[in-house]
Amino acid sequence: MLEKFIIHGGKPLKGEVRISGAKNAAVAILPAVLLADSPCVIENLPNISDVSAILNVMQCLGAQIRLINKSSVEINPRHVNSFVVTKEMAEGMRASSYFLGALLGRMNRARVAPPGGCNFGVRPIDQHIKGFEALGAKITFENGMVDAKAEKLSGASVYLDVVSVGATINIMLAAVKAKGLTVIENAAREPHIVDLANFLNSMGANIMGAGTSVIKIRGVERLEGTGYSIIPDQIEAGTYMAAVVAAKGDVLITNVTPKHLESIAAKLKEMGAEITEYDEAVRVVMNRRPRKCNVKTMPHPGFPTDMQPQIATVLAIAEGTSIVTEGVWDNRFRYVDQLTLMGADIQVDGKMAVITGVENLNASPVKAVDLRAGAAMIIAGIMADGKTEIEDIDHIDRGYENVVEKFTSLGADIKRVPIIDSTPVYKQA
Ligand code: EPZ
């Protein structure tokens, strides 16, 4: 059923919100379970549609899945015998590419539909392929599928031409049981890469250097099932932090790793927010109009690209003119047209957006053009006076667990409602 969000904005946010497990760690760790010889229990899984999609693929491949509760699952990969992930199975998600690395690592063979996911212009996988080939796999493209096969995989040195999260993860997955030493240079350093390495090491892998730009993987014969709890979602936490700065208020955000939020907190402080760090929580207090600031997105530990639309939305109502530069993707400003409908003054030139702050946004019907753009529309709706309707919210459901319940608990007026098709139906007499 098609649904939309209706938000009556203009209320400050107050209270406490608990952050779920990290989407981008979960979508790497779940396929990694296929490398084990015995069952794994994965905890702190976010209840979002990207995770259900991955679990569905794993079940189609032959894994046995038992839901323990809404955030824990037991997966037995013993009987996985298929190496094919079709387009229908992958449902257009980006992380389907991780089945290439995981299935190659498990059975030296993988045939996977090309990854989908959010549309930010071209999303190449050349660096993933370069890594697989260095390990000894032969990659071909047949009937719209990526086909990877190897007699055996052997450790190798791979230098990434661009810092790629996906390529770093995929090469780790393929290399963890390859013979000998693999070295990934210019590796991505995101928290979810460290989480994947910790998970693989807890199964018996030998990975060093995750979180730095040189990752060394000494191949092991076998990996055993383990119990593992996924890290909190840095971007979900950052989204709630930005929402408080936009709508004003006082919110305690719990179940977070404050270290992962430093680059986001630094910018929000520059905008005038008071942010206090605790062991596993941050409190955000904001009681003024945000000040302008410039933001440039970069791979970790830089400011995350996945927070770019949300921070730009806050800057749309800041005092003064801000410049937001996208340093990761070619085209991540598609949401700007939607903010313009709400009265924002934003000029985009290539990878740069010049944002002249307006007093406030006007409520309007808008669309979630992708996942984080959708989160930005929620922030816009919450701070604008009046009724904002957001369509295409399936993008938001891919990555935000219980977003309506969480914002409602903070005092926002947001509802999920079905879209009723008003096209008249004429019956023949
Ligand atoms: C991951 O995508 C995330 N997705 C994205 O988050 C995130 O925006 C991105 O990393 C950057 O942090 C998942 O983890 C599932 P990349 P990924 O490979 O791995 C270029 C969200 O909102 N590149 O790090 O696909 C590429 O074009 C999502 O949660 C190549 O040139 O991103 C881009 O400019 C959206 N060749 C840059 O590298 C390659 O082979 C970074 O891409 C691979 C990438």
Q: Can you tell me the mean pLDDT for 386-406?
A: 97
Looking at the DSSP assignment, which residues form a beta bridge with residue 389?
6, 365
Sign (positive/negative) of CA torsion 97, 103, 105, 109?
negative
Q: Can you tell me the mean pLDDT for 104-120?
A: 84
Tokens of 227: 């119990």
Q: Supply the pLDDT for residue 364.
A: 93
Looking at the DSSP assignment, which residues form a beta bridge with residue 148?
110, 139
The whole-angstrom separation of Cα 350 and Cα 356 is 17
| Nearest residue by C-alpha to atom 14 in ligand 1 | 24
Dihedral (C-alpha) 210, 372, 92, 138: value to the nearest 10 degrees?
A: -30
pLDDT by residue (tens digit) across 268-293?
A: 999 999 999 999 999 999 999 999 99
Q: Which residues of 93-129 are buried (b: 16+ CB within 10 A; e: fewer)?
A: bbbbbbbbbbbbbbebebbbbbbbbbebeebebebbb
- Determine the length of the chain: 429
Tokens of 277: 């760090």
**Ligand 1: does its nearest atom lie under 6 Å from the Cβ of 399?**
yes
pLDDT by residue (tens digit) across 341-373?
A: 999 999 999 999 999 999 999 999 999 999 999
Q: Which residues of 352-377 are buried (b: 16+ CB within 10 A; e: fewer)?
A: ebebebeebbebbebbbbbbbbbbbb
Q: Which amino acid is residue 357, in one-letter code?
A: G
**Ligand 1: does its nearest atom lie under 6 Å from the Cβ of 123?**
yes
In 159-317, alpha helices (H): 165-175, 191-202, 234-247, 262-270, 308-315
Percent of the chain with pLDDT over 70: 96
Is the model's pLDDT at 427 over the cut of 70?
no
Q: Tokens 């199975």 — which residue?
A: 89
The whole-angstrom separation of Cα 366 and Cα 388 is 7
The whole-angstrom separation of Cα 131 and Cα 162 is 12
The whole-angstrom separation of Cα 5 and Cα 404 is 8
Lowest mean pLDDT among 68-82, 85-99, 174-188, 272-286: 85-99
| Structural domains present in the chain | 3-20+232-418 (3.65.10.10), 23-229 (3.65.10.10)
Tokens of 219: 């191949």
Is residue 334 within 8 A of residue 373, CB to CB? The reply is yes
420 CA to centre of ligand 1 in angstroms: 36
**Ligand 1: does its nearest atom lie under 6 Å from the Cβ of 130?**
no
Is the model's pLDDT at 184 over the cut of 90?
yes
Residue 82 confidence class, pLDDT cut points 50, 70, 90: very high
Q: Supply the pLDDT for residue 425.
A: 55
| Candidate from 184, 239, 328 with most ligand 1 atoms within 8 A of CB, to mutate | 328
Q: Which H helix or E strand runs over 374?
A: helix 371-383
Tokens of 147: 């086909």
Lowest mean pLDDT among 71-85, 316-330, 415-429: 415-429
Residue 429 confidence class, pLDDT cut points 50, 70, 90: very low
**Ligand 1: does its nearest atom lie under 6 Å from the Cβ of 127?**
yes
pLDDT by residue (tens digit) across 225-235?
A: 999 999 999 99
**Ligand 1: does its nearest atom lie under 6 Å from the Cβ of 371?**
yes
Q: Can you tell me the mean pLDDT for 183-189?
A: 98
What does pLDDT average to over the chain? 95
The whole-angstrom separation of Cα 220 and Cα 168 is 18
Looking at the DSSP assignment, which residues form a beta bridge with residue 43?
229
Q: What is the DSSP string of 304-331?
A: -GGGHHHHHHHHTTSBSEEEEE-SS-S-
The whole-angstrom separation of Cα 140 and Cα 148 is 7
**CA 110 to each of CA 128, 239, 250, 277: distance values in angstroms, whole numbers, following the listed order:** 13, 36, 49, 44
pLDDT by residue (tens digit) across 142-182?
A: 888 899 999 999 999 999 999 999 999 999 999 999 999 99
Dihedral (C-alpha) 127, 128, 129, 130: value to the nearest 10 degrees?
A: 50
User: Which atom of ligand 1 lies at the shortest distance from residue 117's CA?
Assistant: 35
pLDDT by residue (tens digit) across 238-261?
A: 999 999 999 999 999 999 999 999
* Enzyme catalytic residues: 118
The whole-angstrom separation of Cα 142 and Cα 123 is 19
Residue 122 confidence class, pLDDT cut points 50, 70, 90: low
